[in-house]
Amino acid sequence: MAISVAVILVVILVPFSGVVNGKTKELKECDIYKGGWVYDSSYPLYNSSQCSFIETPFDCQQNGRPDHLYLKYRWKPRSCNLPRFNASKFLEKYKNKKIMFVGDSISLNQWQSLACMLHSRTPHSEYTLERVGALSTFNFKKENVSLIVQRNALLVELDTDDKSYGRLLRLNSIAEGDAKLWRGCDVLVFNSWHWWKHSGRKKPWDYITDDGEHMYKDMDRLVAYEKAMSTWSKWVDENIDFAKTKVFFQGISPTHDNAENWGSHDGKHCSEETRPVFGPTYPKENPAEKIVEKVIGNMSKGVNLLDIFRLSQQRKDGHPSTYGRPGKKLGMDCSHWCLPGVPDAWNELLIAELTRS
């Protein structure tokens, strides 16, 4: 049995040693999104009990999840090493600066991850947490570093002013009330996709328009998404000073609702999954990811893709599943992510991108 385990570990770990032809690449030359998940006994980076502000649906351990192995995986690029997370250094570097996440609850996931990564390593630092409407701000008082999240699931304007037609989604318009907050930030991380898939009662609009004149009850979702993304990209190119602001678009965060997508026929979703999908490929593609890549490819060089899609696809074990509420195994969440967990790796990649830029 011991021999079998050793062989498995070699197969998993060797391809992602961070060395190519005997040499480790510099971070700026490395594709940090190609690699694998490796076991690291020093992980996770924090304990959720250190962060009372983590949303209950993300706090899987406090909600009774019995396994712990999913907490022990670290993302390892194939040809380089990510910089080790240093909270004090990060806070000093971004002193008097604003970092804003804009998007849906996946952005909330990532924002809370970064706040906890920093707070847990500097536990005596005073902070304030303010929530006003769709805006939440976590501020480290000494360094005056503000981590902000704006709940804005669609990025384009959702007009609710005219009650005669209800909620009108304007694919050709950015709401100035939202966008004025984007100006002046030092780092912007955008995200949008999950709410574009909702239908029926969960559909967030009543009508949709792409020219401001013609209204439709609905539209092909991928067509609508690409139009919205193009509107967003045009606004960013025309309004953001890339000399002052680093802009990222977070790649699509995958769901794991169908076990057949990762070759399993024993289950229907992510419930009771405790290990990643090991290997460089994954059989399921997401057409929205192609749209993201296309739109960003046509933008200014100042916008970067935080390409979390494929590496997150491998983490079928990282979702709350039935552990989104304390003491009650209700529902099935294969969309959001446990904290600590996969979003911590997204933030390590974000920090790496900021380091090399």
Active-site residue, selected from the candidate residues 105, 107, 146, 253: 105
Residue closest to 101 by CA, chosen among 86, 120, 114? 114
Residue closest to 189 by CA, chosen among 30, 29, 346? 346
Q: pLDDT grade, residue 13 (50/70/90)?
A: very low
Give the Cα separation of 36 and 278 in Å (integer): 7
12-26, 91-105, 123-137: the lowest-pLDDT one: 12-26
Give the Cα separation of 231 and 295 in Å (integer): 10
Tell me what pLDDT residue 187 has.
Answer: 99
Mean pLDDT of the chain: 90
Quote the domain boundaries for residue 10. Answer: 2-356
Burial of 244 (0-12, 13-18, 19+ CB in 10 A): exposed
336 is known as an active-site residue: yes
Residue closest to 139 by CA, chosen among 182, 98, 170? 98
Instruction: State pLDDT tens for residues 29-84.
Output: 899 999 999 999 999 999 999 999 999 999 999 999 999 999 999 999 999 999 99
Neighbouring residues of 234: CB distance < 8 A, sequence distance ≥ 6: none
Active-site residue, selected from the candidate residues 230, 317, 336, 344: 336
Retrieve residue 164's tokens.
Answer: 């005669």
Retrieve residue 288's tokens.
Answer: 């929205």
Number of structural domains, the chain? Answer: 1
Instruction: Using the predicted structure, report yes or no on whether residue 355 has a pLDDT greater than 70.
Output: yes
Neighbouring residues of 255: CB distance < 8 A, sequence distance ≥ 6: 194, 334, 335
Active-site residue, selected from the candidate residues 210, 307, 333, 344: 333
Whole-structure pTM value: 0.91
Instruction: State pLDDT tens for residues 169-197.
Output: 999 999 999 999 999 999 999 999 999 99
